[in-house]
Chains A and B, each alone.
Chain A
Amino acid sequence: MAGTALPGRLSWLAATAVELRTETARTRSISFEVPGWEGHRAGQHVDVRLTAPDGYQAQRSYSIASAPGDPLLTLTVERIEDGEVSPYLVDELREGDRIELRGPIGGYFVWQDAHRGAVLLLAGGSGIVPLRSMLRHRAASAPGTPVRLLYSSRSPSEVIYRHELAALADVDVRLVYTREWPRDWEGHRGRIDAALLAAEAWAPDEDPITFVCGPNGFVETAASALVANGHPPLSVRTERFGPSG
């Protein structure tokens, strides 16, 4: 029952697309007006439900890209070529179209306002999306928190939120390219590994909390390397993107 808020449960809500922005060739940000939305914490996700004219429905989960204080709820979706929901959201959806969503969902992979130490954000590809929510939230609510972002992308053209990240004044943003890089690139090339993390991550004795989000191979490598480098397993929170067509 879209739009019917029942206490104690996550009701389906009608969401109207009001802003669309192409981020990269494969990703698009969609900002929704969602009457009845009661807010979220940075890092959480929503379930999206689409209904075809014959009543057939499909659901998928997407991370929330906007900060809790932003006026619109924004999802950034990557097109999975043989997918069912993501091609619709990236290529078909227009301003004014309505979908259903419900949430927020999840409560472990979320920005901790109480955490006073350093924060490391590790993104692989579209794994940047919930971390972008955290960065926007930090800018609005906790600008003094030391944050470092390591963001692994295949190439410069696949960096999502490129201009927004470049404009972050007091966040240490370090891009890593795995396949293509600019001719004069002096940063890291290749996949994130233990040696890179030993050099680039906050040291364990700085008591950081780390959020890792991306494809499973990226998350598995990064999280295992952090633990091998001396970070307590409970200080490393992960969100693994399976295929989300």
Chain B
Amino acid sequence: MSFVSRGFHGRRRPDVDPARIPPGQYLESDFPVLSAGPTPHTPLADWTFTVGGALDAPRSWPWARFVELPAQEITVDIHCVTKWTKLDTAWKGVAIDTLLDGVDIHGKWVTAFSDGGYTTNLPLEDLTGGRAWVAYEYGGEPLHPEHGGPARLLVPHLYFWKSAKWVRGLTITLEDEPGFWEGYGYHDRGDPWREQRYQGD
């Protein structure tokens, strides 16, 4: 059991609905930036988004065609494993369902890969069913490079390291293959409501 830390009373926020803050998280109004290396700056002329791996035929979109795909506007709460939660973030992006529409998929796992070498792994079912997007606008503006622009994965029901910045594609895999942070001990799935921060949580 936990014990009381003498003299600690906390600073509860009466204006916050506790049902929207997962365990161990606190409300943040800024948008902190976290990443393991320098911010990549890939010119849009060189940018493509690719879906490949264990499927019938890989597909790829250059930037100009990607932003012509049917897009959605999404307002969601996001939760970073470093403890902050930000409410009502507004994005525009393409649903993963749209990118996978009509594809014959042979695997149950996905590795998202990014400029700069970052990867993260997810079960395919966490990316489908209207729960994940490739987002390229935030707050009505092009997504800033520090926040993952030109485009990032958006999987708001998992901790935000799963929402890979600077994402360039998805690889369908037959086995679950740990991504970057997952290989350093972070949880394989990362459900904030179960507080799955690290392996074994």
Q: What residues of B have a CB within 8 angstroms of the CB of A105 in the complex? A: 185, 198
Which one of B5, B117, B180, B201 contacts A51 once the chains associate, using CB atoms below 8 Å? Answer: B5
A145 interface contact, C-beta 8 A = no
Q: Are A223 and B39 in contact (CB under 8 A)?
A: yes
A159 interface contact, C-beta 8 A = no
B139 interface contact, C-beta 8 A = no
A240 interface contact, C-beta 8 A = yes
Which one of A57, A58, A243 contacts B32 once the chains associate, using CB atoms below 8 Å? Answer: A243
Q: Are A224 and B200 in contact (CB under 8 A)?
A: no
A139 interface contact, C-beta 8 A = no
B136 interface contact, C-beta 8 A = no
Within 8 A of B (CB), among A123-159: none
Q: What is the size category of the interface that chain A forms with chain B? A: 35 or more
Q: Are A53 and B200 in contact (CB under 8 A)?
A: no
Q: Are A216 and B24 in contact (CB under 8 A)?
A: no
Number of A-B pairs, beta carbon distance below 8 Å: 131
Chain A binding surface SS class: mixed
**Bound complex: CA A213 to CA B119 (Å):** 22
Which one of B1, B4, B38, B199 contacts A226 once the chains associate, using CB atoms below 8 Å? Answer: B38
Within 8 A of B (CB), among A75-114: 83-84, 88, 92-94, 97-100, 105-109
B14 interface contact, C-beta 8 A = no
Within 8 A of A (CB), among B107-149: 116-117, 146
Q: What residues of B have a CB within 8 angstroms of the CB of A242 in the complex? A: 28, 30, 32-34, 82, 84
**A52 in contact with B10 given A233-B37, A233-B40 (CB within 8 Å):** yes
Which one of A52, A94, A227, A245 contacts B38 once the chains associate, using CB atoms below 8 Å? Answer: A227
Report the minimum CB–CB distance from B18 to chain A (whole Å).
10
Please give me the residue from chain A that is nearest to B40 by CB atom.
Answer: A233
Please give me the residue from chain B that is nearest to A1 by CB atom.
Answer: B1
Chain A contact residues, CB within 8 Å of chain B: 1-2, 6, 8-10, 12, 14, 47, 49-53, 56-61, 83-84, 88, 92-94, 97-100, 105-109, 216, 220, 223-224, 226-227, 233-234, 236-238, 240, 242-245
**19 additional contacts (CB under 8 A) given A8-B200, A14-B3:** A2-B2, A8-B199, A9-B199, A10-B200, A51-B4, A52-B10, A53-B9, A56-B9, A88-B8, A99-B5, A106-B184, A108-B180, A216-B33, A233-B37, A234-B37, A238-B36, A242-B33, A242-B34, A245-B26
